[in-house]
Each structure stands twice: as C-alpha cells, then as structure tokens.
Amino acid sequence: MSVIKIGHVNLRVLDMAAARNHYENILGLIVTDEDSEGNLYLKGWDEWEKYSVILSPSEQAGMDHIAYKVENDSDLDSYANTIQNYGIEVENLDAGTLVDCGRALRFKLPSGHIMCLYADKTVVGKSVGNVNPAPWPLDVKGVGAHWLDHCLLVCPLDPENQVNTIADNVNFLSQCLGFRLTEQALVGPDADIQAVAFLTVTNTPHDIAFVPGPTAGFHHASFYLSSWGDILKAADIMAMNKVKMDVMPTRHGITRGETIYFFDPSGNRNETFAGLGYLATPDMPVITWTEEEIPRGIFYHSGELNTAFTEVYT
Ligand SMILES: [Fe+2]
C-alpha cells in the first residue's frame, strides 16, 4: 500500500481563453478534454494518465484541490480508515466524481488545503508511445513541459499562538500517507520550529512542499524539464510571449533544482524545474537549513529572497 505520485492539480482561472493559451502554447501541455462546465483537462507529453492539470473557470484564482495516486484500489479503504483515525474527516467520492477517475477520497490537510487520493485514472499514453519511443515528440509546443512535478502550498504559521500547520501537515502526511520528509528549515530561538518542509513519495526531492504565510494558499505548480539548457530556452519562450516572470533562471539550494518562476494570466504562479536534484531514497537523512541560510536555500546564487516571492500567492 502506498501513495505513488502526484496525480493532478485543479487550478482556478479567471479567463479560460488566456489560461488555455498559457498552459497549451507556452508551457506546452496537451489539452485532452473539455467538459460542459468549462473545465479544461491537460497533460504533459511525457505523462500517460489523461490529465495532470485541470483548469476551472472561476472569479478567484488559486487551487481547488491537489490529488495523489495510490497503488491499489483497496488502498483507498485502508487510507480512509487511517485518515479518520488520525482525526481528519474523509469523504468517499464515487467513480467519476473526479473526471475519468475511479472512486476517490477527499479530505482537508491540517492547513486547510483539499487533497484527494485516487487509484485509477484513464490512461491515454505518452506522446512518444511505449514501443521504441523517440526521446521527445516533434510536435511539442512552447516550453514542452514533461510532467507536473510538484506543488508548493502556503500554510499558516504563527509560533506565538502555537499554530504551525506546516508541522501539522508533515506529521499527517508522514504518519498516514507514507510521505517522507526530505528537507526542512528550522527557525526560532531554539531552532525547533519547522518553517519550510519538502516531502516525497517517489525518489525525487519533493512531491509536495510547504512554506509559511498569513493564510492558506497556493504558491506554485511546477513542471519538469530535463536540463539547464531547457530552462534557458523556457525563459526565452516566456520572454517572447511576454509572460510575467518573478524569478529568472537560477538554482535552488533546497532540492538543487534549476528553476524559473512565472505567472499564468490569472496570477497563479508556475515553475519550470529541471534536473533530478538528488536521489531521495527512503534511507536518506533529512536535510536541514538553518534560519540565516533560508534565503540561500531558496535562491542559491543570490542568497536573497525577494519579498514578492514570499508574499504574492493565490
Ligand atoms: Fe517548486
């Protein structure tokens, strides 16, 4: 029984035509479906499930929910019990409630974000197929993102009032769903307040991460590219398309990823993340960043945080 990967993120967008152009023509995702309620379903060329991104029309940007895939259908019963015993209410969703998915679970993380678990989603295959595949498809658009890599969520942290939903999320995801903490930043006079946390279920540095903020929100969804050269080309494509970027190509200390941060037309932040970072097998000791080195953990070259990066989110 295990959670095996990030499945999808459902983002709310203000202008569907503009959002479609951004995710399809600039990020290079492939539209696989569109429903009667105006939701758009997209996948990366290197993904095999029908979608990893749902765009939903809304008057407020942000994240509706994030979903992870479990190994077996029967895992859903076990996880429902485990989550309920932990003290978190779980909704059982009938097959099809998450479009093109089997039955699913829906619950709230301690931070208030909605998470779903599913075991089955329609498989449509990679663009390059499964037999003697080319390394990449000739018809890839824009940046050509391979797959949805991870999401970073903003969680309330108020040590004075003993509120730390980051630590609460880490406890819950570790104890109930088998996520493993890979990196953390510890702050406070005794360096015992977990203020940044990165967790994985695979062997990559993170499948989900949490940073602090005054209210729960969505910081970014990140899409995988394979190399630093791809990052440079992605920045070129964003500049050609006048995409608003808030962090130019650089490297993270945390995860060692190579990165660009930018915004979709609704103000939802995206990232292109390149490279493995490191191999995060289950026996890897947790990496800790100290409070004074957090800016270098985030942006390794400058060692400086820009306030917009921490304060602007949806
Ligand atoms: Fe990220």
In the chain (314 residues long), the average pLDDT of successive 10-residue segments reads 97 98 98 97 98 98 98 98 98 98 98 98 98 97 98 93 94 98 96 96 98 96 97 98 96 96 98 93 98 95 88 93
Strand duo 180-187 + 163-164: pairing: unpaired
Give the Cα separation of 91 and 24 in Å (integer): 32
Q: CB within 8 A of 99, min separation 6: which ones?
A: 33, 35, 39, 41, 51, 54
The catalytic residue positions are 150, 206, 220, 252, 261, 271
CATH code, residues 3-118: 3.10.180.10
Please give the model's pTM, rounded to 2 decimal places. Answer: 0.97
Q: Measure 85 CA to ligand 1 centroid, in angstroms.
A: 31
CB-hemisphere CA count at 13 Å for 144? 18
Q: Measure 201 CA to ligand 1 centroid, in angstroms.
A: 15
3-118 and 148-311 have identical folds = yes
Q: Measure 97 CA to ligand 1 centroid, in angstroms.
A: 28
AA letter at 114? I
> Is residue 116 a contact partner of residue 109, using CB atoms and an 8 Å limit?
no
Quote the pLDDT of residue 161.
87
Q: Measure 292 CA to ligand 1 centroid, in angstroms.
A: 21
Query: What ranges do the domains of the chain cover?
Result: 3-118, 148-311
DSSP letter assigned to residue 13: E
Quickly list DSSP for 126-184.
-TT-SSS--SS-TT--TT----EEEEEEEEEEEGGGTEEHHHHHHHHHHHHH--EEEEE
Quote the pLDDT of residue 128.
98
Q: Sheet containing 53-57: give its strands across.
A: 30-34, 40-43, 53-57, 3-13, 62-70, 114-118, 104-108, 90-93
Quote the pLDDT of residue 258.
96
Q: Residue 160 is encoded by which pair of tokens?
A: 């004075």
Pick the CATH number of 148-311 from 2.40.50.100, 2.60.40.1220, 3.10.180.10, 3.40.630.30: 3.10.180.10
Q: Measure 273 CA to ligand 1 centroid, in angstroms.
A: 7
